[in-house]
Amino acid sequence: MLKEWEAVQERLKEGLSRGQYDLWVATLRFLQFDGQVLILGCRNSLHRDWVRNHLVSRILTLGRDRFPQLEQVRLELVSEDPLLEREEADDWQIPEDAHQGPRQLSFRDVGQKLRSPFNPRFTFDQFVVGRSNHFAYATCLAMAGQQSLYNQSVYLMADPGLGKSHLTHAVGNLLMTSQPAIRVRYVTAEQFANEMIRALKRDRIEDFKSRYRDGCDVLLLEKVEFFSGKKKIQDELVYTLDELLDRGRRIICTGKTAPNDIPKLNHELRSRLGGVLVAPIERPDFATRKEIIRRKAAYDGVELPMDVVEFLADRITSDVRRLESCLVGMLAKSSILGRPISMDLAREVTQAMLDYLPSLDIPHVAEAVCTSFGVSMEELRSKARNKKVSEARQLAMYLCRKYTSESLNAIAQAFGRSHSTVIYAIKKVDQELGRKNSHLKKRMEHVARRIETRCLDG
């Protein structure tokens, strides 16, 4: 029966990050299957609660392929052997040779495959391409395929939740399968800094340098804004980048802002990062959001009604991660409660997602827009059509749709406009935000910060 459970565990890897799998799934202990009830052991109550809330329904679904007549999953707390607990506790620490080449194997490694550091769901096939991300997608695909590029280094620039990590992991996954001998080093800026600090403390800085300069064919470096203000680490990174570029190695970096806008970077690092090919990722437009929802649901074997797809794409516009969270929440609620996927269920889940802004209403949003544009609410409600007022009015309608739970009709009435006018305004702003170098994007982000600050203060 243990082998059957291990097969189920393997299936549970799908849809979880490596950290989630190692922390919650790999530590589940098979205790017993009595013909109908699968009994699993958890380390503590936190472990048990997380598995119960996030995994039990999937374990039931996947487990029935291996355990006939499975009807229930029971979670029990189990005490660990003190020596084993100590050994496993050490595994939670970042190993000294994390992201390095081969390490000395322990007995526990015998017979186990080395795990990939890349999320198996983050592939090019699973990445939804639209106007907002096509260039970044094509660039990363070319990097992974060793196509000739003008520059062998790329900087993916995007707000959180728009797909930087997905593309970075997609490059790693493709390289690991198509070129297994290639040495790919994936690391966040924080991990790079921590490794360097440990190397300095242990007088092993030369090993650290060799690991990144001699033992690396492709460097995937995420969240470079973490280097802000860390002078010695910036200096080391400059030397490392120079060495890799001189040898024709490929480099992909990611960050939230352009390199020139990251504060407290020294001139040399700013110059190196500013000289690479910058591939921005913008917020997805309505059509791309619909395809993201449809694709993610299909991956889980669910076909959503089109009205639900369009509702979710219309309501959740900020980032892909929140869109996926909303979808997962709806599928989980449907599975656990046995409710069909419907507009009512979609409304419940999206309302819960937006509950973090409970104090916002149309006047709050309109006030923030008026302050930013230097216009009055009376002007927004008026028939004035000059560019400044029209742009402010359309953005206010767009943000009311994003930040409040009001209907389109309610928004229309607040601004003295028709239902169709609000729809037109939302679509126009969405299209403008999807354009490269949109003049409206910075204005919208400024207003959004004022709105969210108002919410947190209220």
Identify whether 293 is part of a domain.
yes
For the segment 379-391, the average pLDDT, to the nearest whole number, is 91
In our burial notation (b when 16+ CB lie closer than 10 A, e otherwise), range 118-154 reads bbbbbbbebbbbbebbebbbebbbebbeeeeeeebbb
On whether both 21 and 49 belong to a single domain, the answer is: yes
- The answer to whether the beta carbons of residues 381 and 347 sit under 8 Å apart is no
Min mean pLDDT across 47-56, 85-94, 148-157, 340-349 is at: 85-94
Query: Torsion angle of alpha carbons 295, 299, 305, 309, nearest 10°?
Result: -40
Q: How many domains does the chain have?
A: 4
For the segment 147-158, the average pLDDT, to the nearest whole number, is 79
Residue type, 86: R
Domain that holds residue 252: 134-280
On whether both 347 and 381 belong to a single domain, the answer is: no
Identify whether 102 is part of a domain.
no
Please report, rounded to a whole number, the percentage of residues in the chain having pLDDT higher than 70. Answer: 85
For the segment 121-139, the average pLDDT, to the nearest whole number, is 90
How distant, in Å, are the alpha carbons of 27, 30, 220, 289, 300 from that of 304?
34, 35, 35, 14, 11
- The answer to whether the beta carbons of residues 190 and 98 sit under 8 Å apart is no
Please report, rounded to a whole number, the percentage of residues in the chain having pLDDT higher than 90. Answer: 27
Which of 258, 277, 42 shows the shortest CA–CA distance to 139? 277
Identify whether 106 is part of a domain.
no
CATH number, residue 240 = 3.40.50.300
On whether both 255 and 219 belong to a single domain, the answer is: yes
CATH number, residue 343 = 1.10.8.60
Confidence band, pLDDT 50/70/90 cuts, at residue 104: very low
Query: Is 178 a known ligand-binding residue?
Result: no
Q: Give the number of other Cβ atoms within 10 Å of residue 201's Cβ.
A: 9
Residue type, 404: T
Angle at CA of residue 286, ends 358 and 408, nearest 5°: 50
In angstroms, the CA 453 to CA 64 distance is 48
On whether both 174 and 265 belong to a single domain, the answer is: yes
In angstroms, the CA 405 to CA 402 distance is 8
Query: Is 41 a known ligand-binding residue?
Result: no
The neighbouring-strand residues paired with 41 are 29, 76
3-state SS of the chain? CHHHHHHHHHHHCCCCCHHHHHHHHCCCEEEEECCCEEEEEECCHHHHHHHHHHCHHHHHHHHCCCCCCCCEEEEEECCCCHHHHHHHHHHCCCCCCCCCCCCCCCHHHCCCCCCCCCCCCCCCCCCCCCCCCHHHHHHHHHHHCCCCCCCCEEEEECCCCCCHHHHHHHHHHHHHHHCCCCCEEEEEHHHHHHHHHHHHHCCCHHHHHHHHHCCCCEEEEECHHHHCCCHHHHHHHHHHHHHHHHCCCEEEEEECCCHHHCCCCCHHHHHHHHCCEEEECCCCCHHHHHHHHHHHHHHCCCCCCHHHHHHHHHHCCCCHHHHHHHHHHHHHHHHHHCCCCCHHHHHHHHHHHHCCCCCCCHHHHHHHHHHHHCCCHHHHHCCCCCHHHHHHHHHHHHHHHHHCCCCHHHHHHHCCCCHHHHHHHHHHHHHHHCCCCCHHHHHHHHHHHHHHHHHHHC
Confidence band, pLDDT 50/70/90 cuts, at residue 66: confident
Query: Is 407 a known ligand-binding residue?
Result: no
Min mean pLDDT across 19-33, 96-110, 259-273, 299-313 is at: 96-110
Give the end of a domain, one of 354, 372, 404.
354
For the segment 158-185, the average pLDDT, to the nearest whole number, is 90
On whether both 312 and 368 belong to a single domain, the answer is: no
Give the end of a domain, one of 304, 321, 354.
354
In angstroms, the CA 278 to CA 300 distance is 33
For the segment 391-414, the average pLDDT, to the nearest whole number, is 85
Residue listed under structure tokens 């070319």: 142
CATH number, residue 32 = 3.30.300.180
In angstroms, the CA 37 to CA 42 distance is 16
Identify whether 119 is part of a domain.
no
In angstroms, the CA 328 to CA 350 distance is 11
Q: What is the pLDDT of residue 82?
A: 34
CATH number, residue 373 = 1.10.1750.10
Angle at CA of residue 112, ends 110 and 114, nearest 5°: 115
pLDDT at 415 over 80: yes
Which of 253, 274, 255, 252 shows the shortest CA–CA distance to 158? 255
Give the end of a domain, one of 93, 126, 151.
93
Q: What are 228-283's pLDDT values in tens digits?
A: 999 999 999 999 999 998 888 999 999 988 888 888 899 999 888 888 889 999 88
Identify whether 259 is part of a domain.
yes
Query: Is 19 a known ligand-binding residue?
Result: no
In angstroms, the CA 288 to CA 158 distance is 16
Min mean pLDDT across 7-21, 321-335, 406-420 is at: 7-21
Long-range contact list for 324-328, CB < 8 A, 24+ apart?
324/292, 324/296, 325/353, 326/350, 326/353, 327/293, 327/296, 327/297
Confidence band, pLDDT 50/70/90 cuts, at residue 50: confident
Q: What are 34-46's pLDDT values in tens digits?
A: 888 899 988 777 6
- The answer to whether the beta carbons of residues 187 and 221 sit under 8 Å apart is yes
On whether both 169 and 54 belong to a single domain, the answer is: no
In angstroms, the CA 64 to CA 36 distance is 10
Q: What is the pLDDT of residue 40?
A: 92
pLDDT at 92 over 50: no
On whether both 322 and 432 belong to a single domain, the answer is: no
On whether both 451 and 324 belong to a single domain, the answer is: no
On whether both 343 and 437 belong to a single domain, the answer is: no
On whether both 68 and 173 belong to a single domain, the answer is: no
Identify whether 112 is part of a domain.
no
On whether both 174 and 73 belong to a single domain, the answer is: no
On whether both 349 and 416 belong to a single domain, the answer is: no
Identify whether 104 is part of a domain.
no
Identify whether 105 is part of a domain.
no
